[in-house]
Amino acid sequence: MKKVLASLLIGVMSLSLVACGGNKSTTTDSTNSRAVNSETTNSDSEKSYDIIYLTPSTASQFWTYVGIGIENAMKDMEEKEGIKINFTTVGPAEESQTEEYVTAFEKAIAKKPDAIITATLAIDATVPKAQEATQNGIVLNFVNCGLGSGDDGAYEEFYNQFYYCSNSTIGEMAAQAFLEAMDKKGIEKGIVGINMNVENEALNHRIQSFRDYMAENAPELVLTDTYYNGNVVETAQANAENIISTYGSELIGMYSGNNITGNGVCLAVESAGIGDKIVSVAVDSDDIEINALKNGNLDAIIVQDAYAQGYKCMENAILTLINGSNPEAEKQVNCPPVIITRENMDSTEMQDLLDPTRLKK
């Protein structure tokens, strides 16, 4: 596992959250050999394309980080290719507003843009919209959360490209980071609280792979049932407080499957004053988690390269429009995560991963 982790780290450092799952469909793909959609020309012969970023949440720092990568790629490609991108960001405020997300997708399709870049936490409702967009000649790229886990190739007929981070890898790396932190704190056995935002086929891989790794490498540990919070920080905090009060001194740590969950757990750990007594590992970074890592209320964050995923997704969409075909050999490209701890968090590379706003142009 250490060799695998080392390879993953090297891959990310060279810029090699959350994906969703589904079943295969049989509709014929029309994107790889598509003609350029509604390309327009300005008076100075500058090519112009309309591209929409449909985000699952305008309030989430993670999706903001993805958006920074998207916008930087747009600016770089405009300069490099001598084109103009008419860019719009739309989407609901919160990830939990899935009906609003689907409505925003419908409106985006109705505008007939050249390309749509999006991520979905509502797979079943998104599949027919993805099919409609693709059949109407829109280049549809998914970033981080697609119509499948990425590893399964689900519904690949309904989109052009998918850049993601393997949720199974995230869970395994979280378990490894957890065990390493246990060793440092001299903890040998006890109960581990399991926390997640929503029950989702793809996100569940983050939980199951964590459980599987622990079962194989630390069978003496007892893992609780998964506490779901609906992607609400206050609920995540209440769940963590419940775990702390229920298991008391038997509790040796908690695993948080996404940043919203991690925020709630960090707040609960800080309030209880047990940061030095338990191990806490979370996924994806934002301000609360970063501060918790600094002050000892969080031992490690498994960080996806949200910026790189967004950048690659926009770059691919533009190249597909310019060339009339997808330049990637594979429709699913995995962008591995890294483990960030208090010891390595101050390096430039890790700071850029923790806070991609540093990279905004």
| C-alpha closest to that of 190 among 246, 230, 249 | 249
User: What does the pLDDT read at residue 153?
Assistant: 85
> Of 28-37, 83-92, 322-331, which range is least confident?
28-37
Mean pLDDT calculated for residue range 121-133: 95
- pLDDT number for residue 78: 98
The superfamily (CATH) of domain 17-165+305-335 is Response regulator (3.40.50.2300)
- Give dist(CA 89, CA 290) in Å, integer: 26
Query: Which 3 state secondary structure label does DSSP give 217?
Result: helix
Furthest-apart CA pair in the chain: how many Å? 72
The per-residue pLDDT for 200 is 76
For residue 18, the model assigns a pLDDT of 37
Residues 228-237 have pLDDT tens digits of: 999 899 999 9
Assess whether pLDDT exceeds 80 at residue 12: no
Residue with tokens 């001194």: 249
Q: Is the dihedral of CA 63, 68, 74, 76 positive or negative?
A: negative
Tell me the average pLDDT across 317-338.
96
Residue in 152, 118, 153 with CA at minimum distance from that of residue 134: 118
* Beta strands 251-256; 191-196: pairing state: parallel
Give the residue from 257, 269, 339 showing the smallest Cα distance to 298: 269
Which pTM value belongs to this model?
0.79
User: Would you place residue 8 in the very low, low, confident or very high pLDDT band (cuts 50, 70, 90)?
Assistant: very low
Question: 349 or 96, which is more confident?
Answer: 349
Can you say how many angstroms the Cα of residue 127 is from the centroid of all Cα atoms in its chain? 19
- What pLDDT, on the 0 to 100 scale, is given for residue 45? 63
Rounded (to 5) percent helix, strand, coil in the chain: 45, 20, 35
The fold for domain 168-303 equals: Rossmann fold (3.40.50)
Q: Where in the chain is the domain with CATH 3.40.50.2300?
A: 17-165+305-335, 168-303
Segment among 37-46, 149-158, 317-326 with least mean pLDDT: 37-46
Res. 43: pLDDT tops 80: no
pLDDT at 9: 36
Computed over every residue of the chain, the mean pLDDT equals 88
Torsion angle (degrees, nearest 10) of CA 220, 264, 126, 55: -130
Q: Return d(Cα 116, Cα 104) in angstroms, integer.
A: 11
The tens digit of pLDDT for each residue in 61-106 reads 899 999 999 999 999 999 999 999 999 999 999 988 999 999 999 9
Asked whether the predicted pLDDT for residue 333 surpasses 70, the reply is yes
Residue 194 pLDDT more than 70?
A: yes
The answer to whether residues 98 and 122 touch, using CB atoms and an 8 Å cutoff, is: yes
Amino acid (1-letter code) at residue 17: L
Considering the chain, what percentage of its residues have pLDDT values greater than 90? Answer: 81
In the chain, the percentage of residues whose pLDDT exceeds 70 is 88
pLDDT for 325? 97
Q: Which of 12-16, 136-140, 295-299, 317-321 has the lowest mean pLDDT?
A: 12-16
